[in-house]
Chains A and B, each alone.
Chain A
Amino acid sequence: MRYLLVEDNAELADAVVKRLALDGHAIDHAATLAEAEDCLATARYDLILLDVMLPDGDGRDFLARSRAHLETPVIVLTARAQVSDRVGALDQGADDYITKPFDFSELEARCRAMLRRRGGSARNQISLGAALFDPLAGTLHHDGVTVDLRNREIRLLEVFARHPGQILSKAQVMDHLFSYDAEVTENAIEVYVGRLRRRIDGMGLRIETVRGLGYRMEHDA
């Protein structure tokens, strides 16, 4: 995915750019609305992350101005948790808002909800044998059937899809699945793997247990 981040705080912008790059996304950073206009004139983005308070104006006004010719979905970043801010942002054409400081899995979840509403984006699909996986929208297509996966299933399938044929240890899977919110046991991994196996049944995908080492996903050629 290609993101445009419009954020005037350099520290935060730097961190967000690095963090999204870790997930393999491409990010352009604009510190002002003027820079953002330049970026939008020269490149196409999948998603815009827009701060509300910028040195050369209010992000919401920018949104109201450019919404007419801008098809890219916009998520507004707000430091004020005030509802009136959010409602205002949504009224002016933002697709969603997220409050600082944000959890990147929440950002991901919000993107997913938005992309599902918009019907997905073909660019992000990963081909797994005969099946097509869209990790951002959280959908799996096979033979004309589309399955909506739940959050943990998406993340689990994503980690397998990014490492085709490799054996992944339970610890590796766990890191990806549960970021930091809960105390998780390895048994929980088995529960989710079991659930994912049922979901991908009949799509030419298999998750094998490699005794003592972890899991590996294979797909029919």
Chain B
Amino acid sequence: MNRTLSIGRRLTVLLAGVAAALSLLSWGMVTSLATQAAVRTQDNVLAASTTTIAETLRSEQGEVRLELPYAAFAMLGAISEDRVFYRVDAGGTMLTGYADLPVPPDVTAGQVVFDTGLFLGATIRIASVTRPVLVGTERVAVTVTVAQTRDGVKAVTSEISWQAGALSVAFFFVAVALSAFAVRMSLRPLNVVADAVARLGPSDLRPLLRPAPADLAPLLDALNRLMERLRLSIRRSEDFIAEAAHRVRTPLATVRTQAEIALRTVTSDAEKERLRRIIRAVDESARSAGQLLDHATVAYRVEDLARDRLDLSDIAAQSAAGLEPTAAMRDIHLKLDFACAPILGDAVLLETAIRNVLDNAIKYSPEDTTVSLRIRRSAHEWVLDILDQGPGLGEGPTEPLTERFRRGTNTAGVVGSGLGLTIASEVLRAHGGRLDLKNAATGRGACVSLIFPLA
């Protein structure tokens, strides 16, 4: 079969890819939001701090004066351990603070302006506010600048980023597991159907009637139509075989009867021998026709096997009674050793199986011998042994003897088509049993065991 990637695997890989993209996206978003939030918090506190300082500005004796309120720096210390810098400039002259601290350009009066810069080798965030202060009659623009290093912000954002990363990875794995589960659940109806098809017996062609999702209905329909066509074609060939066997048998009966009449009236030994050969050939054709018919019956009935409660000993006794006159013609005695053996099955098929095996046993038995039928119970099975005193099964493996048209090595001089054991074996298989062939323990004859599960 030309296999491509399974639907399940394909879906799982696709869903895992989607989950990975979503994880990455959510990680990026969380990180960026966290950074923005941290920056905004710092900006707000810086702005508050700057404004607080700016509010203490006043003019006193022609000078700008200010107090650095403790709270202005305490609030900055509250958000992180970062270093804080400040400077206050009045009209271009620095009043107090760090002279090197950069001041954002374009400071407009009344508004807090932010900037980011470098100071003493560290990145800082700077906030500036300018307030006009009246010194005497002159308005002096006083700029208050407060800056803070950004280590705290970085620490917070990187921590949140790590956590978000870890969460995203966890989300990814959970998503993959869930999608694998979801895929399995959605493919389950498909597997159920595949299983049902796989479990069908070798000749079971009944349509699958189990409920299936709408997506599977076309597949199931197509499958059922195929099986129906197959079933019809098998049925047609069975009918054909049955009809053919029937058509062949009546003229054969005429030929055989005429040959018997001729055998009674001719006197020459050579002619008698020729007539005997004709009769033997007729018997052989008739036998093959009968077994083909039996085989067709088995194939047809196994399709819808009856599971009636039966007694194996009843069926075996019936089969034996049917063949008793045939055995008597050659002075073969049928010995029955039965006890009640309940089984589940199809009486017609079981009779066919037993008759074919028993017929074989009688056929291969020398005159004046005994064929024994015995039912015994082993641990989990009923065993019907059919023992004869014939030449046995010969050397070599016994399994091929149940193959179609296969005959043993010890069959010279006996009419046969090689279907008898195939028929029996197929019937037993359909009943969950098996056919066991061996040479009798006594060293003479064959022992064929028909083995059935207990009812």
Contacts and interface: CB of A to CB of B under 8 A. Distances in A.
Contact of B246 (A80, A175, A180, A181): A80
Interface stretch (B14-22, B201-209, B253-261, B397-405): B253-261
Contact of B329 (A99, A100, A151, A183): A151
A103 to B, nearest CB: 7
Interface string A1-42: 000000001011001101100100000000000000000000
A105 to B, nearest CB: 5
Interface string A171-195: 0000100011111000000000000
A15 B254 contact: yes
Interface in A82-124: 82-84, 86-87, 96, 99-106, 109-110, 112-113
B328 A113 contact: yes
Contact of A81 (B245, B251, B254, B282): B245
A182 B289 CA distance: 22
B87 interface: no
Given A16-B257, A99-B290, A112-B325, A79 B275 contact: no
Q: How large is the interface on A (under 10, 10 to 19, 20 to 34, 35 or more residues)?
A: 35 or more
Contact of B293 (A80, A87, A150): A80
Contacts of A141: none
B261 A100 contact: no
A216 interface: no
Nearest to B291: A81
Given A18-B261, A19-B260, A104-B260, A79 B250 contact: yes
B329 A82 contact: no
B348 A106 contact: no
Interface string B353-383: 0010000000000010000000000000000
B388 interface: no
B263 A179 contact: yes
A84 B260 CA distance: 29
B245 A150 contact: no
B297 interface: yes
Nearest to A23: B264
Nearest to A98: B325
B62 interface: no
B449 to A, nearest CB: 21
Contacts of B322: 86
A106 B261 contact: no
B324 interface: yes
A142 interface: no
A105 B326 CA distance: 9
A151 B324 CA distance: 12
Contacts of B303: none
Nearest to B272: A175
Contacts of B355: 83
Interface in B270-298: 272, 275-276, 279-280, 282-283, 286, 289-290, 293-294, 297
A168 B355 CA distance: 39
Interface of B: 242, 245-246, 249-258, 260-261, 263-264, 272, 275-276, 279-280, 282-283, 286, 289-290, 293-294, 297, 322, 324-326, 328-331, 347-348, 351-352, 355, 367, 413
In the A-B complex, the 6 residue pairs with the smallest Cβ-Cβ separation, listed nearest first, are A101-B253, A15-B257, A109-B325, A81-B290, A180-B276, A100-B253
Interface of A: 9, 11-12, 15-16, 18-19, 22, 79-84, 86-87, 96, 99-106, 109-110, 112-113, 150-152, 175, 179-183
19 contacts: A12-B254, A16-B257, A19-B257, A19-B261, A22-B261, A22-B264, A79-B246, A79-B249, A80-B293, A81-B249, A82-B294, A83-B348, A83-B351, A106-B326, A109-B329, A112-B328, A151-B328, A179-B263, A180-B279
